[in-house]
Amino acid sequence: MTNEIVNSALSKVMYPGFTKDIVTFGFVKDIKIDATDVSFTVDITSSAPEVAQQIIDDATRELKAVSAGKVVVNIKSPQMPKESSSKGKNIAPQVKNFLMVSSGKGGVGKSTTSVNIAIALAQQGKKVGLLDADIYGPNIPRMMGVSDIKPEVNGNKVLPIKAYGVEMMSMGSLMQEGQSLMWRGAMIMKAIEQFLRDILWSELDILVIDMPPGTGDAQLTLAQSVPVTVGLTVTTPQGVSLDDSRRSLDMFKKLNIPIAGIIENMSGFIAPDTGVLYDIFGKGTSQPMADEFDTKIIAEIPIEPSIRTGGDEGKPITFVNPSSESSKRYVSAAQSIWAQIEKINADGGVDNSAVQPNTPPGVSACSM
Ligand X SMILES: Nc1ncnc2c1ncn2[C@@H]1O[C@H](COP(=O)(O)OP(=O)(O)OP(=O)(O)O)[C@@H](O)[C@H]1O
Q: Which residues bind ligand X (CB under 6 A)?
A: 103, 106-112, 134, 137, 139, 213, 265-266, 301, 303-304, 307-308, 311
- Binding track over 105-124 against Mg ion, x by CB under 5 A: -----xx-------------
Which CB sits closer to ligand X, 237 or 258?
A: 237
Q: How far is the CB of 106 from Mg ion (least distance, A)?
A: 7
209 backbone dihedrals φ, ψ, rounded to 5°: -120, 115
State the Cα angle at 220 between 215 and 224, rounded to 5°. Answer: 160
Which CB sits closer to ligand X, 137 or 165?
A: 137
Which CB sits closer to ligand X, 108 or 131?
A: 108
Q: Is 265 in the site for Mg ion (CB under 5 A)?
A: no
The residues near 59 (Cβ < 8 Å, ≥ 6 apart) are 9, 10, 13, 22, 42, 71, 73
Q: How far is the CB of 211 from ligand X (least distance, A)?
A: 8
Which CB sits closer to Mg ion, 108 or 223?
A: 108
Q: Is 229 in the site for Mg ion (CB under 5 A)?
A: no
Which residue type, as a one-letter code, is found at position 345? N
Q: How far is the CB of 146 from ligand X (least distance, A)?
A: 16
Residue whose C-beta lies closest to ligand X: 106
Which CB sits closer to ligand X, 29 or 308?
A: 308
From ligand X, Mg ion, none, interface partner of 38 (C-beta below 5 to 8 A by class): none
From Mg ion, ligand X, none, interface partner of 101 (C-beta below 5 to 8 A by class): none
Residue whose C-beta lies closest to Mg ion: 111
**Rounded to an integer, what distance in angstroms lies between the CA atom of residue 102 and that of residue 335?**
19
Q: How far is the CB of 101 from ligand X (least distance, A)?
A: 9
Q: How far is the CB of 316 from ligand X (least distance, A)?
A: 10
Which CB sits closer to ligand X, 59 or 209?
A: 209
From Mg ion, ligand X, none, interface partner of 205 (C-beta below 5 to 8 A by class): none
Q: How far is the CB of 107 from ligand X (least distance, A)?
A: 4
Q: How do strand 128-132 and strand 206-210 relate by DSSP bridges?
A: parallel
Which CB sits closer to ligand X, 185 or 227?
A: 185
From ligand X, Mg ion, none, interface partner of 307 (C-beta below 5 to 8 A by class): ligand X
Which CB sits closer to Mg ion, 111 or 116?
A: 111
Q: How far is the CB of 195 from ligand X (least distance, A)?
A: 16
304 with 324: CB under 8 angstroms?
yes
Q: How far is the CB of 247 from ligand X (least distance, A)?
A: 14
Q: How far is the CB of 249 from ligand X (least distance, A)?
A: 16
Give CA separation, 8 vs 3, 68, 130, in Å. Answer: 8, 16, 41
* Size of residue set near Mg ion by CB under 5 A: 2
From Mg ion, ligand X, none, interface partner of 245 (C-beta below 5 to 8 A by class): none
Which CB sits closer to ligand X, 103 or 285?
A: 103
From Mg ion, ligand X, none, interface partner of 209 (C-beta below 5 to 8 A by class): none
Name the residues that contact Mg ion, by CB under 5 A: 110-111
